[in-house]
Amino acid sequence: MKRMYVGGEWIESEGKQTIATKDPATQEVTAEVPRGGKTEIHHAIMAARKTFESDEWQDFAPEERGRILYEMASKLRHSAEEIAQLETMDTGKPISQARNDVEAAARYFEYYAGMADKIFGETIPVQANILDYTVREPVGVTAHIIPWNYPIQIASRSTAAAIATGNTVVVKPAEDTPLTAIKLAELFDETSLPKGVFNVVIGYGDEAGSALIHHKDINHITFTGSVQTGMLVMEAASRNIVPVTLELGGKSPNIVFSDAKMDEAADWIVKSVIQNAGQTCSAGSRLLVQEEVKDDLVERVKNRMLSLKMGPGIQDPDLGPVLSEKQFQRIESFLNIANKENASFLAGGKRAHVEGYENGYFLEPTLLDGLDPQSEVAQEEIFGPVLSVFTFKGEQEAVHLANATPYGLVTGVWTENIGRGHRLAKKIRAGQVFINNYGAGGGIQMPFGGYKKSGFGREKGLEALRNYTILKNVAVKM
């Protein structure tokens, strides 16, 4: 059985209760992990608090923090295949995608390692006999609630930034996919990082997660997940006046104009909606296409979808299973709505049979046409390999459609007219806009976050460092 990591020690849950994790391709139990709750969360936070306030950590040189983060990047790469297989076992994603996730995780540690000794303040001119300056200090103990779709990446990107800036952290991975968070703890345990800086507690959201967000000794909460849970996180944080960083998903469009390179656009449109079986916050789940090229582009997208290979992640197919029965039923409920609204199913729309893996929840990649843009299916995040098609006449209508959902995370714009691309980028209400590409290879350095119900605050890049520091002003009379 796996164990949790608290204060540099490997522990079981107080009540010896466990959670079974399952392989999404087979639904077979792959591991038993502790079911932590309020007690374990409290112990983890107290361990993190004790370490944060210790002379050892307060005097720990920034360049030494950076050295350890560099070491973590190296360890991740050294164990890359093992970690990728754990990630695929947990999430069901194709092994090549899991390998990319591990490399991205290593890049986060590498990137923030280089920033650990470059957290600068400023001097401010006030008056002749006053030296006024600012310093950026760590906020304290930070909570990191990790979703099940990209566990190794998302745990790494926020904890690396938090530790680089001098904080101590408590990680609560999703109960469905905790194995790589445990592996991160194992790797940290091999370094000279003071015990209590990095802590992992596994448990359900309404038990461990709730205890974490309500705890009075947490100084910042980073959460990636649903809008509904994000609202609960904000509400809990407000009671302790704790800042939050929220990344809550999207309903992201690819906007294709008649002058775009159609094959290139079609390739990326399909990739953007099938990655991780569509269980991606930045999935390109809406296709907005200029009327005169709709038939041509849709046919290209359809043909690509129909040619995709499905199977268990370890066989590295194009498309793996969705995580669980619960997730499959959620997607299915949206497809039922689309069917009732007389949408045209141009491809997919039903469970796929994969020989030898009949218990896995495989869904055919689905292409929908004929939906009202205000339909629930067109407005809400489905979190599956489902793409809805809409048409527009000109730029103004394209912008209107792009902005006409409650979300604003990512947008792709496809046009050879670079002026048009810039015009749309200015008018679209999304945290990231890609012109003639989608995703830029993961973009470790690029600030990532949303408008509207996609959340607020930014992860990745230098902007993320602001989440984990607090500004202090010092004025010295000379």
Tokens of 383: 């979190």
**Residue that the structure tokens 């990209």 belong to:** 150
Question: Per this entry, what is the length of the chain?
Answer: 478
Query: What does the pLDDT read at residue 451?
Result: 98
Do 211 and 37 meet the contact criterion of CB atoms below 8 Å apart? yes
Mean pLDDT, the chain, rounded, equals 97
Residues 144 and 240 occupy one common structural domain: yes
CB 78 within 8 A of CB 103: no
pTM of the full predicted structure? 0.96
Check whether residue 39 and residue 182 sit in a common domain: yes
- What number is the average pLDDT over the span 421-446? 92
CA distances from 392 to 204, 258, 269, 293, 365 (A): 44, 11, 17, 10, 24
Q: Are residues 365 and 426 in the same domain?
A: yes
The answer on 210 and 239 residing in a single domain is yes
Q: Which pLDDT value is given to residue 443?
A: 84
pLDDT tier for residue 439 given thresholds of 50, 70 and 90 = confident
DSSP reduced 3-state for 257: coil
Q: Are residues 350 and 270 in the same domain?
A: yes
The verdict on 158 and 237 lying in the same domain is yes
Looking at residues 106-131, what average pLDDT do you find? 97
What CATH number corresponds to the domain at position 166?
Answer: 3.40.605.10
Give 300-338 pLDDT, tens digit per residue: 999 999 999 999 999 999 999 999 999 999 999 999 999
Is 334 domain-assigned? yes
Given 110, 247, 381, 459, which residue is catalytic? 247
pLDDT digits (tens, 9 = 90+) for 35-77: 999 999 999 999 999 999 999 999 999 999 999 999 999 999 9
pLDDT band at 428 (very low <50, low <70, confident <90, very high): very high
Q: Are residues 279 and 242 in the same domain?
A: no
Q: How far is the CA of 85 from the CAs of 23, 92, 275, 391, 446, in angstroms?
A: 11, 10, 17, 41, 27
Task: Render pLDDT for 275-305 as a digit per residue (tens, 0 to 9).
Answer: 999 999 999 999 999 999 999 999 999 999 9
- Number of CB atoms found within 10 A of residue 162's CB: 29
Do 244 and 264 fall into the same domain?
Answer: no
Residue 78: pLDDT band by 50, 70, 90 thresholds? very high
Question: Residue 1 above 80 pLDDT?
Answer: no
The pLDDT value recorded for residue 109 is: 98
Range of the domain at 473: 4-248+456-477
Same domain? 291 vs 232: no
Strand order, beta sheet including 286-290: 344-347, 366-369, 386-392, 286-290, 253-256, 410-414, 432-435
- Together in a domain, 233 and 154: yes
Provide the pLDDT confidence category of residue 30 given band limits of 50, 70 and 90.
very high
Told to judge if 299 belongs to the known catalytic residues of this protein, a careful annotator would answer: no
- Tokens matching residue 225: 């997940």
Q: Quote the number of domains for the chain.
A: 2
pLDDT at res. 312: 98
Q: Does residue 3 contact residue 199 with C-beta atoms inside 8 Å?
A: no
pLDDT of residue 441 exceeding 70, the answer is no
Percent of the chain with pLDDT over 70: 99
177 with 273, same domain: the answer is: no
Question: With bands split at pLDDT 50, 70 and 90, how would you rate the model's confidence at 375?
Answer: very high
